[in-house]
A and B are shown apart, each in its own frame.
Chain A
Amino acid sequence: MLSYNFKYELKLLLRSRWIQLLSIILLLLFGFSTYNGLQKVEKRKNDILAAKTEIQENDVLMLKLLDSVERGMQVNVPSWTIPSSPMAVGNYHPRVAAMEPQPMAFLATGQADLFTHYVKPTVGGDDAALNFTEMTSPVQLLFGSFDLAFVIIYLLPLLIIAFSYNVLSAEKESGSLRLLAAQPIRIQNWVLQKLALRFFWLSLLVIFSLLTVFFLLGLSPFGNSNTFISLLGLILAYMLFWFALAFLVNLWVGSSAKNAVSLLGLWVVFVLLVPSVLNQLGNTIYPMPSRNLMINELRNMKAEVTEKQDEILDNFLRDHPEYALNDSTQTRGFYHRLMASKKLVKENMEPILQSFEKQLQNQQNWVEKFKWVSPAILAQESLNQMAGTSKADYENYRKQVIVFAEEWREHLLPFLYNNQDFSSNDYANLPSFRYTELTSGSQKGIPMLFLISFLLTAVGLISSRTRNSKEVLNQG
């Protein structure tokens, strides 16, 4: 039966123009979404480049100013911006800490439109942690960008539904099912074969369309062959899930209209409802402390330490005897007090930040625990991972920036407390930031999706053993 189904299913699909229609739709969707994704990546690259260029131009000016100062010339700039002051360098000539897009970043916008991908940490700025984390909505599972991930997760299932909802019911409604059922076959197996063949042909079309779009847009899938193979694996696993669902609905439901409504209902549940319900439950079970309260706390703390800056500085210097001044002509000024107080603010804020971090982590763990309930979450997470735009990627970036901000501050503080000028010779030793990508973890979502799909198919087959062909024939 399989060889005949294989032979004639393609003929039927070609003659009903399904193959041609799907090819055009897939090429358009993949083409447009990949182009959109590339545009976003291009903008991100340009933003980073512009920030770096600005820093380079500032550095040229800084070195010229330093040169003039070191040669004893008068410079026509405000005194607090003269780069011989380490705090002027630390505040007005920061480095760019950029998260460069990964080669497949165009696949999924992921968290990229929620978090920044470059910052310029300064010695006087607040702790970088405050500027990175989306405190109120940590689990962004609803995604609005028309990127490849959107097409795969949202639109591809709709195409599959349109392509598979009436495999059995159309035969029933046209009358050909009775003739088929009079042959020595199991109708359930026949439905499974038809759907498996449609899955096969659609998979080929998807692969062909993706390759065509990649080549047309100048992308080399073989440059990142592992990621590309993972991408194809993920798409096939996700498609298989929807075909498995279509198999169950074809067997269990009945008329074409009921099948279509059931499958669309399942699409709403798996793609829209489950992700947002999980998100909401995460927020309800692990509510985030009020961000306003945290900001108020920070302000109060700043006001408090401002009043006690002399005392704080004394305490700081007591803890850091290496900064003791031997030269009685030198004094401690504004920046000495400010930096000592900032350190204290940071230390005092740590428990509050930790409580946010903990709740955030709890929420993420919650979603992590139940993500398998929706294949859309699994697929989105995997695509974000491939694109380097997952929450783990941005968390990795945030941590690296916090470390770098500390390094930047710690590099310049000894200049400040030793009352030592910054010179052009010190320029080369300024720390710079280099983003280290997450080592790509295994794509757990793909085997999990395959497993769920096979389980669904098995449920269909096992349940069909207890149902006779007559029940399939007579339902409606």
Chain B
Amino acid sequence: MINTNNLTKKYGEQTALDHLNLDVKEGEIYCLLGANGAGKTTTINLLLGFVEPTSGSAFINQLNVSEDKRATKRFLAYIPENLMLYPSLTALENLDYFAGVAGKRLSQDNLKGFLAEAGLQTEAFNKRIATFSKGMRQKVGIAIALAKDAKVLLLDEPTSGLDPKASNEFGLLLQKLRGKGVATLMATHDIFRAKEVATHIGIMKDGQLKQQFVANDISLSKLEKAYLNTMEYNEVGS
């Protein structure tokens, strides 16, 4: 569902992403781990079509992102680190607007159903987003993905700044989406959360995918060690 083929992005002499090859299938959650500047956000920006690759290609649902950006966006939902919605609109109105803009005309009952499915409390439906915590806004973001019936979910540091409870709830939501066959690519620093929710984990450094694991095949401590080793190796090597 999400594929990259030698995907490379350079900014002048600086290589932000170096020949990335990824394959995330339906019902998989792929977590990209890495420090700041590792190339995680660049990967997501390339998959969203926000930047053009220098070479290589990215595919969403077998459609080339560079060639047909709008078509690929019909299949995907995106939740950035800080999901900013319209603060003066309510959760229900924000959901109605973004789903509508994406071409989904939904009844109020359906919209409420998606908000509830995303774990938002009923009394918050008609409250303005300005009063929402980050965790509540992320839930609205998930509701947008549900309303769009997205096949692909791109998440950029979605749990950063969330308290453990909210982070845990978010993890559960991702599992729910996984159950619906959604392919998820999540960029994160959070090794613990990655191990908990991911089906696959990749460690990135300097724009390169250094190591990949099947989440079930590696323990948290080994993952942590691999992550630190990758960082150290590169630091020594650099």
Contact = CB atoms under 8 A, between A and B. Distances in A.
Contacts of A180: 98, 101
Nearest to B48: A182
Contacts of A444: none
Nearest to B154: A182
B83 interface: yes
Nearest to A473: B50
Contacts of B86: 8, 12, 176
A186 B98 CA distance: 14
B50 A181 contact: yes
A174 interface: yes
Interface stretch (B68-76, B166-174, B212-220): B68-76
Contacts of A352: none
B73 A178 contact: no
Contact of B78 (A182, A190, A468, A474): A182
Contact of B50 (A3, A8, A185, A474): A474
What class of interface size applies to chain B in its complex with A?
20 to 34
Interface stretch (B27-35, B88-96, B114-122, B190-198): B88-96
B228 to A, nearest CB: 31
A469 interface: yes
Interface in B30-57: 48-52
Interface of A: 1, 3-5, 7-8, 11-12, 15-16, 174-176, 178-186, 190, 468-470, 473-474
A11 B96 contact: no
A184 B51 CA distance: 16
A183 B98 contact: yes
A183 B52 contact: no
B102 A183 contact: yes
A186 B83 CA distance: 20
Nearest to A1: B101
Nearest to B47: A182
A182 B77 contact: yes
Given A176-B84, A180-B98, A184-B70, 18 more contacts: A1-B101, A1-B103, A8-B93, A8-B97, A11-B93, A12-B89, A15-B89, A175-B82, A176-B86, A179-B83, A179-B84, A179-B144, A182-B48, A182-B76, A182-B78, A468-B49, A468-B69, A469-B50
A102 to B, nearest CB: 46
27 contacts: A1-B100, A1-B101, A3-B100, A4-B100, A7-B97, A8-B97, A11-B88, A11-B93, A12-B88, A15-B88, A16-B88, A175-B82, A175-B83, A179-B85, A180-B98, A181-B50, A182-B48, A182-B76, A182-B78, A183-B73, A184-B103, A185-B70, A185-B101, A186-B70, A468-B49, A469-B50, A474-B50
B80 interface: yes
Nearest to B102: A183
A184 B89 contact: no
Contacts of B48: 181-182
B52 A184 contact: no
A286 to B, nearest CB: 54
Tell me what chain A mostly uses at the interface: helix, strand, loop, or mixed.
helix
B33 to A, nearest CB: 22
A11 B74 CA distance: 26
Interface of B: 48-52, 69-71, 73-74, 76-78, 80, 82-86, 88-89, 93, 96-98, 100-103, 141, 144, 154
B201 to A, nearest CB: 24
B89 to A, nearest CB: 7
Contacts of A474: 50-51
Contacts of A473: 50
B84 A470 contact: no
Nearest to B80: A178
A5 B73 CA distance: 19
A344 B111 CA distance: 92
A175 B84 contact: yes
Contact of A184 (B71, B83, B88, B96): B71
A180 to B, nearest CB: 7
Contacts of B49: 468-470
A473 B48 CA distance: 12
A437 B98 CA distance: 57
Nearest to A171: B84
B101 A4 contact: yes
Contacts of B70: 184-186
Contact of B74 (A7, A175, A184, A470): A184
A185 B77 CA distance: 13
Contacts of B144: 179
Contacts of A12: 86, 88-89
